[in-house]
Amino acid sequence: MPCPVETTVESRADRRRAPHGQPPVDGPLRLPFAELNLRRNPFGELEAAERAAVAVVEVDRLVRRLEQPGYAVQFIGEKGRGKTTHLLAIWRHFPQAVYVHVGEHERPRIPHGRPLLIDEIQRLSRWHRRRIFRRRVPLAIGTHEDLGGELRRAGFEVQTVRPAEALDGKRLCRMLNRRVERARRGPGPLPQISLQTAQAMLDHSGDDLRAIEFCLYDLFQDLAGIQDV
């Protein structure tokens, strides 16, 4: 599906393109995205710590409750809906917490942490999950399936959050501009994402934040100068 937003100015790619269909010949090396006053494409893949730093999520209420034992919060949603971002945002509030991402077909050793943050916990076997829940430490989990029943049976007080439900144009606009700001190179203006664009993205890709990021990545890759997108 094509991206709903297009730039009309000469793009970075146009300027790099060699004449007469010749293969691209790179010009002299320059600092990346310096012409946009950025250090990198703001919508590229981020490391966990960086993703946590740019998160626009409200977790203060959850953070207070996660200080108590016997409390669990589960973030439910499909991929690209913000589960990991919420977990990483919580992680920033607890220096002694442990964040574990469970990869496909992995059986990772779950270390001790308080609270314990486990992403993609549905990939663990029921038996493995039950052993973790027996630890009775505060839990924050990201999952594709509702594990409320299992948690309650293990004696947890459970709160369920579906991150995608709270997403609207204004919030998305704030999230996207936070990412642009985070990639800032120096003082001065930056490209800004308008509310209109954020709304168009939401209409186009729904609540799939990852699809929105991919689309904006290509857009910024072609952006020739600082302008509102």
Partner 1 sequence: MSKCDLAIVFARPNRTYRGGDELSGTVHVQVNQDVRCDGLIVEHFWQTHGQGNTATGPKESSVVFQGNLQAGQAYSYPFRFTVPDGPPTYHGHYLNVDHYIQARVDIPWAIDPKLKEEYLLLPDEREYGNLPPDRNQQPRLMGQVLKLGLPVGVAMIVAGVLVLFPCGIVLIPLGCLVVFAALRQSLAEKKIGKVELHWGSLRVAPGGEVPLALSFTPRQSCTLNGITANLLAVEQCVSGSGRNKSTHTHKVHQQSITLAGQGPLTAGQPVQVKTTVPIPQTNAFSFSASDNELIWTLEVRVDIPLWPDWVEKRVLTVRPAPAAEIAQQQPGQPPPPPDARRTRAESKAAAFPAGAGSPAAGDLGSAGMTLSMGSEVTFHRPPPEPSLARGPAEAAPPAAEQQPAVTQQPSPGTAAVDGALGQLVDRLGAANRYGSARDEIIRQYAEQSFPCSIEIDAVERTYTYVPDQRFRNGRTVTGLLRGTDCRVSVQLPEERNEQLDTLGPGDTLQANCTPLKWNNIHDRLEIREL
| Contact footprint for partner 1 (CB under 8 A) | 13, 22-26, 29-32, 39-41, 44-47, 79-80, 92, 95, 101, 103-104, 120, 123, 210, 214, 217, 221
| Min CB(25)–partner 1 separation in Å | 6
Coil, strand or helix at 217: helix
* Rounded distance between C-alpha atoms, residue 98 and residue 115, angstroms: 7
CB of 31 to partner 1, least distance (A): 6
Rounded Cα–Cα distance for residues 112 and 71 (Å): 16
Taking each continuous run of H as one helix and of E as one strand, the counts in the chain are: 9, 5
Q: 194 vs 222, which CB is nearer to partner 1?
A: 222
- Residue 190: CB atoms within 10 A of its CB come to 16
User: What is the rounded distance in angstroms from the CA atom of residue 225 to the CA atom of residue 5?
Assistant: 16
Nearer residue to partner 1 within complex by CB, 93 or 171: 93
CA Rg value for the chain: 21
Distance of closest approach, residue 216 Cβ to partner 1, in angstroms:
12
Helix (H) or strand (E) holding 85: helix 83-91
Cβ proximity to partner 1: between 103 and 189 the closer is 103
To partner 1, the closest distance from the beta carbon of 28 in angstroms equals: 9
Bond prior to 115 in cis (omega within 30° of 0): yes
Under 8 Å between Cβ of 102 and 87: no
Smallest distance, Å, CB 35 to partner 1? Answer: 12
Residue with Cβ nearer partner 1 (105 or 112)? 105
Nearer to partner 1, 52 or 154 (CB): 52
